[in-house]
Amino acid sequence: MARRRRWFALFSLAAFVGTLLGQPWRAEEPLAAGPVTIVVTSAADSTTPAAVCPDDTRCTLRRAIEVANADISGNPIVITFSPATFPGIAPALIAPVAPLPAVIRAQVTIDAAGLGVILDGGGIPGAHTEGITFAAPEGTLRGLIIRRFTGACIVAIAPGASIGGDLSATYANRLDDCTTGILVRGASAQIAGNRIGLASSAGLVQVGILVAAGDATVGGLATAGPFAANTIGNAVVAIRVGEATSPAFGGVTIARNVIGIDGSAFAPVGTGVALGQNSSNTRVVQNTITNAGWGVSVAADAAGVSVTGNRIQSNRFGVIPGLAVDLGGDGVYNPSDPGDVDNGPNRLINRPVILRATQARVTGEAGAACPGCTVELYRAAPVPGSLDGNGLDPVPTPLAIADTAGAFTFEAPPVAPGEWLTALVTDANGNTSEFGPQARVGTGVAQCGNTALVQGWNQAAYFGPSPVQLGNSFPNDASPIRAIYHLEDGTANFTRWIAGQAAGRTLTGLTPGEVYWFLADAPTTIPGGFSLTTGLPVPLRQGWNDFVYIGGSAAVADALASLGAAYTDLYRFDASTGSWRAYGSAATPEWAHQFGTIESCGAYQVYMNGVANLTPLQP
């Protein structure tokens, strides 16, 4: 009686799903007890009973699925393919004339690993067609080439699906030219080793993998082995988590996938990973995302619901013109707020701010990170003229833990002077921030020494240990310095000192760190020097200003990033030729600049559109 009830329940389920999907269904005799294997021996397709399984030549994929659906043995079923019909070196094409029936029997594996099976839906009429659909638990699909379906290449409705697998075992599915590569609506799916959107032609997909149920794993952590990565390219969105019509879910892991590149070939995507509504607590870790418009995007609030708890760590980013991590999907960095108490995607957690970076230590600003939160250090891709930009790859150093004031420290990180760094912060609930402002690794000290002068005019800073009062000669009767001029910033006026001429003298002394014009009869050196472990801010007025830059040497756009668009022209006097060298403005082509680097302790002249403070890079 129990067996009869079970048969009736399976019959009713099969009939219901078959009706729902618009597929014909008929009962078959129960298959034999024990492990069940159905071998597809024909690449043809038919919606009539002409196909027979088992059969040496007439068992089609369609009939194999129907036979599996009708089985009541309770044993796992494997649908495999005849090597004679589907040799790996010469794949055979299955071109369905109508949508295939959904797999409504639990524990069915469709296995073409090592064989040559192409499932092509280009000949199916209708506006929306799916490739292989698993509507019962624990369905497995591996080793197929699936293409040209107007819906999804693969659909997993029921829980426990396993799609793909170890690339080294030829388990990968190759999916192209479908609206969605893999659509997951059943919980606890395992999606690994698939290659999506990478065909040499017509590989484009709208979404590579769409996950709309909890506890799925896309790719795999280190314990999943070295070949678990899904490789996805030529997609509008490579991996999307969340669907507007799905119930709320969480616990998805996206790990060690390769997005935007296939070996050395570009395979661009619009967005690498998009975390959307009705999802939460997704882990996005150890992925490689490059050639993408955006890296990882967390959707803005909708109907008062926030997408939160998303941990984004240890990923590698390549060429990304947008934001590598974007909370709100708006393409702009979110401002930090006092106390970090706002809501929104990932709680709009404040970005960490690196206060100072050297090889010995990288320190973070108090209050920029949340107390007790973890901070991850990244090498950065600087944007000339801006302190904002994307992280590239994690610096191999332990995570820092912010103290009770929100400050953090990385001791002796493996970085080099001249590199740029940024950071991500993650709170105890798994909310990760956008990348913080970038900081350049310095030597730790700005060392300004003696001022060397050539014969003729020199624009140079005075670095003596204390102010010098000027008399009739400088500094003694033997000095070859004959005149000293000092520009009154914001004007075209100079104060001046001329040796032996007290009349009209308006410059009475020299101040350490100020820029002067020296006229020398012969080469000479003004002794002195000092060192600073922090940059020396410089107030600049509207108009022309002479200034000395005491900070980390860097490209002009980076060294003057704190000025933004407040300056238009920058000059440096070349005493060896007695002529000016120009940098121009940010709009000047790079090839037209006569110099591109600002050196620590160097003297420069800048034209300002308004009043601003220059904050040099940390030395």
Given this model, what pLDDT does residue 125 score?
A: 87
The enclosing H or E element of 461 equals strand 456-461
**Which of 125, 140, 163 is the C-terminal boundary of a domain?**
125
Given this model, what pLDDT does residue 3 score?
A: 37
Contacts (Cβ under 8 Å, ≥6 apart) of 100: 23, 61, 62, 65, 131, 132, 133
CA 279 distance to own-chain centroid: 20
Query: Long-range contacts of range 497-505, CB-CB < 8 Å, 24 or more positions apart?
Result: 497/470, 499/472, 499/473, 499/474, 500/472, 500/473, 502/472, 505/470
Given this model, what pLDDT does residue 27 score?
A: 39
Same domain, yes or no, for 41 and 79? yes
Same domain, yes or no, for 184 and 317? yes
> Quick one: pLDDT band at residue 22, thresholds 50, 70, 90?
very low
CA distances for 71 relative to 32, 41, 308, 355, angstroms:
9, 19, 43, 67
Residue 494 lies in a domain: yes
The number of distinct structural domains making up the chain is 4
Same domain, yes or no, for 524 and 582? yes
Residue 566 lies in a domain: yes
Region 504-512: mean pLDDT is 90
Same domain, yes or no, for 320 and 178? yes
The answer to whether residue 7 scores a pLDDT higher than 90 is no
Residue 252 lies in a domain: yes
403-457: per-residue pLDDT in tens? 999 999 999 999 998 899 999 999 999 999 999 999 889 888 888 888 889 999 9
Given this model, what pLDDT does residue 468 score?
A: 87
Given this model, what pLDDT does residue 26 score?
A: 39
Same domain, yes or no, for 235 and 363? no
Same domain, yes or no, for 204 and 191? yes
CATH number of the structural domain spanning residue 401 = 2.60.40
Same domain, yes or no, for 170 and 306? yes
Same domain, yes or no, for 326 and 207? yes
Please tell me the number of Cα atoms within 13 Å of 335 on its side-chain side.
2
Region 293-310: mean pLDDT is 94
* Dist. CA 260–CA 254, nearest whole Å: 15
> Quick one: pLDDT band at residue 586, thresholds 50, 70, 90?
low
Please give the residue range of the domain that contains residue 399. Answer: 354-440
Q: How many residues does the chain have?
A: 619
Region 114-138: mean pLDDT is 93
Contacts (Cβ under 8 Å, ≥6 apart) of 596: 555, 556, 583, 590
Query: Which segment of 257-261, 367-371, 538-542 scores lowest on mean pLDDT?
Result: 367-371
Mapping DSSP to helix (H, G, I), strand (E, B) and coil, where does residue 223 land? helix
Residue 137 lies in a domain: no
Same domain, yes or no, for 433 and 479? no
pLDDT, greater one: 13 or 61: 61
Most confident of 20-29, 310-319, 468-477, 519-528: 310-319
Q: What is the 3-state secondary structure (H, E, C) of 266-314?
A: ECCEEEEEEECCCEECCEEECCEECCEEEEEEEECCECCECCCCCEEEC
Same domain, yes or no, for 105 and 170? no
Residue 344 lies in a domain: no
**Which of 332, 366, 395 is the C-terminal boundary of a domain?**
332
Same domain, yes or no, for 457 and 435? no
Is there a contact between 31 and 67 (Cβ–Cβ < 8 Å)? yes
Is there a contact between 280 and 315 (Cβ–Cβ < 8 Å)? no
Roughly what angle, to the nearest 10 degrees, separates helices 2-20 and 61-70? 140
Same domain, yes or no, for 495 and 617? yes
Query: Which segment of 119-133, 305-319, 390-404 scores lowest on mean pLDDT?
Result: 119-133
Region 296-323: mean pLDDT is 94
Residue 534 lies in a domain: yes
pLDDT, greater one: 69 or 418: 69
Residue 144 lies in a domain: no
Residue 14 lies in a domain: no
How much is the CA Rg of the chain, to the nearest whole Å?
Answer: 34
Given this model, what pLDDT does residue 16 score?
A: 37
**Which of 408, 440, 472 is the C-terminal boundary of a domain?**
440
Is there a contact between 226 and 257 (Cβ–Cβ < 8 Å)? no
458-505: per-residue pLDDT in tens? 999 998 888 888 888 887 778 899 999 999 998 889 999 999 888 888
CA 567 distance to own-chain centroid: 32
Please tell me the number of Cα atoms within 13 Å of 189 on its side-chain side.
35
> Quick one: pLDDT band at residue 237, thresholds 50, 70, 90?
very high
* Dist. CA 464–CA 510, nearest whole Å: 9
Is there a contact between 131 and 96 (Cβ–Cβ < 8 Å)? no
Given this model, what pLDDT does residue 11 score?
A: 35
Query: Which segment of 23-27, 332-336, 406-410 scores lowest on mean pLDDT?
Result: 23-27
Q: Which percentage of the chain shows pLDDT scores above 90?
A: 64
Given this model, what pLDDT does residue 487 score?
A: 93
Region 112-137: mean pLDDT is 93
pLDDT, greater one: 146 or 445: 146
Given this model, what pLDDT does residue 34 score?
A: 59
The answer to whether residue 13 scores a pLDDT higher than 70 is no
> Quick one: pLDDT band at residue 81, thresholds 50, 70, 90?
very high
Per-residue tokens: 481: 């310095």
Mean confidence (pLDDT) of the chain: 88
Given this model, what pLDDT does residue 18 score?
A: 41
